[in-house]
Structure 1
Amino acid sequence: MSSTATTPSATTVSTATTTSATTAAAQTRLIRPTRWWILLVAAVILFTAIYILAVLTPTGQSFENAALRGADQVGQQGFNEANRALGQITIWSLIIATALVGLIGLLRRQFLLAVIGVGVIGAGQIITQSLKRFILPRPELVPVTGDFTANSLPSGHTTIAMTVLIALFLVVPYRFRGVVMLFVSGWAVGIGAYTVTAKWHRLSDTIAADLVALAVGSVAALILLRLGRLRRVGRRPRLRMIVVVFLALSGMVALLLGVVLATSPLNYPLHSPVIEWNVYLAAHSLASAGSVFALLTYWGTWRGIEVVRRVGK
């Protein structure tokens, strides 16, 4: 009695390959680039609006200068803590963070992703430093002395923190995204608020830096989509939703507190110590809220989407 081995025919293999390619192409088409184009344009528009309102108007400058004066009332412990946290961001720590982002991408055997992750951090700094040092002027519309006369928008430290956060968001595997965001977001959000406490930056500087990070992150997403590296994910970890809800609630509390504190002194002179303190607290809260909602907005555009070596793999 003889037996005949069954092997897949060329037609079967060809059909399976074609089906896989068709499915992969369909997955890519389901992810529309519109979300990131909208986010990119919105970031540019908001950046421009913030610069005009906060830097090019006497009211904006007066408000933010009041917050700087209010920061003088921060206790020595809080001031030292802010400076210590900001002082940890050096050229060497930036190199290490950038190398870590690249290494994660390489460990996932995605060279392109590693390059894009590193590029997000590098591009963020190039844009921020160019805008701050060479492009955006800060006219002296109200009396101010010392280092506060120079333009400080956007904040370089906040840009570093937020672009590192977005770069990690891109390179880590999808199933670990929520855990990484839970731990890293606290640091990134804190940096933005600390720049106000330490009087290194104004509120508008931190918000502008958040928007630079969003713009760069949007371009990175568009590149990955264009190259066919994004794929829909069917199952989503529950822990991720818990992290998102926690961040959203924290951001909402900070936003509401900041709005209340910012609007309460509208009918009072800004040179009152009590008002200056309230304005500082408002700036601190709004800086935290800005970073939180920047992260959540970017995260929202990636809902149910992961980065893969090639769609279909």
Structure 2
Amino acid sequence: MTEPATAQRSAQAPTTTGPPVTGSTKWLILGILAFAGFWVTYAVFVWTSRGHYIENAALRGADQVDAALVVEADSALNAITETSLAIVSFLVVAMALLRRRVDLAIAASAIIVGSSLITQVLKRFVLPRPELIEVTGPYTINSFPSGHTTIAMSVLFALLIVVPFKWRGVAMFFGAFFAVAIGAHTLTSKWHRFSDTLGADLVAFGIACLVTIALVQRGSLVRVTAGRYPLRVLFVVAPLALSTVVSLGLGMLLLLLSELPTAPDEVLDYNMYLALHGLAAGASGLTALAFWWSWRRIDVGSPASPAS
């Protein structure tokens, strides 16, 4: 009686994972859009006088930010070092290995290391920022794209694919809000411009999409068919989506309603700072949500699964 009863309970138990993910078209389209958006960002903000006027004004506007906020932003950015990146990368890879998934460890490493290497090569050797207008103040040292934002976003994406599906909401809560804050802090501290942050978001997003395609081609991903987690929607996705919409909306509104700041002006400069600060936070939030959506109800298969 024991064996039939056990078999019956096993048959009635819900299946947590379903068939393997076989199509990668979604990530291919997202990756193409990310890399296209990267070059459009560079062309519009770095190679046009209008882009320089707007972003230079935002940096001048950052001079008016409360000193305590600047200290907070500087502290957050200074926390991202080679040592802290190595520690975080080790922990992410360790999570993958604890799941007995070497392919997942390689994928996470590829996202973090690949994104950072590409960003460093682009900002140092490939993509200069020309001086198209006369600049008043030390506002020509920023590099495109932002290394700090790239690290924050790539770690988030690596974490989202490494953490088991049932814990992904926790990873999103800590990782996404940190990445969004880093993107906005770069403007407050004047370490980078909005275009640098947006470019970094798109580099990390594009690499994460390519890595996901590789996982699909390998047969590593499966669809999750059971388990509902409404709290992650209520306390993570919804707040992030709401803050993203508000940030993007207010940023675009300020940008469209303000005059083009062709000369230093305290009001216009601060308006530009507020506008681009909001757009930077919103762009990072939108990027995080897009990758979250692309992995909706998808996880890596167990080591014993045929999909792996």
* TM-score normalised according to structure 2 size: 0.89
Larger Rg: 1
Q: How does 1:110-129 map to 2 (within 5 A)?
A: 110-129=101-120
Partner SS, residue 299 of structure 2: strand
Counterparts in 2 of 1:150 and 1:303: CA distance versus 1, 3 Å? same
Q: Deviations 1:180-227 (Å, cap 9, x if unpaired)?
A: 101221111100000000000000000000000111100110111111
Partner SS for 2:145: coil
Deviation at 1:56, TM superposition (A): 0.3
Specify the alignment match of 2:229 in structure 1: 237
CA RMSD of aligned residues (A): 1.7
Q: Distance in 2 between matches of 1:83 and 1:278?
A: 22
Decide whether the 8 Å contact of 1:230 with 1:311 is kept in 2.
Answer: no
Which amino acid is 1:39 matched to? L
Letter in 2 for 1:157: H
Matched with 2:161 is 170
Which runs of structure 2 are paired with 1:47-86 in the superposition (5 Å)? 47-86=38-77
- Deviation track 1:230-280 (CA, whole Å, cap 9, x = no partner) reads 001112322232222221111001111111111221266552101100100
Which residue number corresponds to residue 46 of structure 1?
37
Q: TM-score, normalised by structure 1?
A: 0.88
Structure 2 counterpart of 1:261:
254
Q: Which residue of 2 aligns with 1:20?
A: none
On the 8 A contact 1:68/1:280 being kept in 2, the answer is yes
How far apart, in 1, do the equivalents of 2:299 and 2:102 lie? 16
User: Which consecutive residues of structure 1, in runs of 5 or more, have no partner in the other structure?
Assistant: 1-23
Q: In structure 1, give the amino acid aligned to 2:57.
A: A
Structure 1 residue 73: Cα displacement: 0.3
Cα offset for 1:145? 5.9
Distance in 2 of aligned mates of 1:95 and 1:108: 20
Choose the corresponding residue for 2:19, options 10, 24, 27.
27
State the one-letter code of the partner of 1:105: A
Residues 38 and 202 in structure 2, CA contact (< 8 A), matched pair in contact too: yes
- Contact kept, 8 Å, 1:132 with 1:151, in 2: the verdict is no
Query: How much has 1:144 moved relative to structure 2?
Result: 2.2
Deviates more, 1:176-185 or 1:233-242: 233-242
CA distance in 1, matches of 2:154, 2:80: 13
Give percent identity, aligned residues only: 46
Letter in 1 for 2:186: T
User: C-alpha distance in 1, partners of 2:69/2:48?
Assistant: 31
How much does 1:302 deviate?
A: 1.1
The count of residues paired between Structure 1 and Structure 2 equals: 288
Which secondary structure state, in structure 1, belongs to the residue aligned with residue 139 of structure 2?
Answer: helix
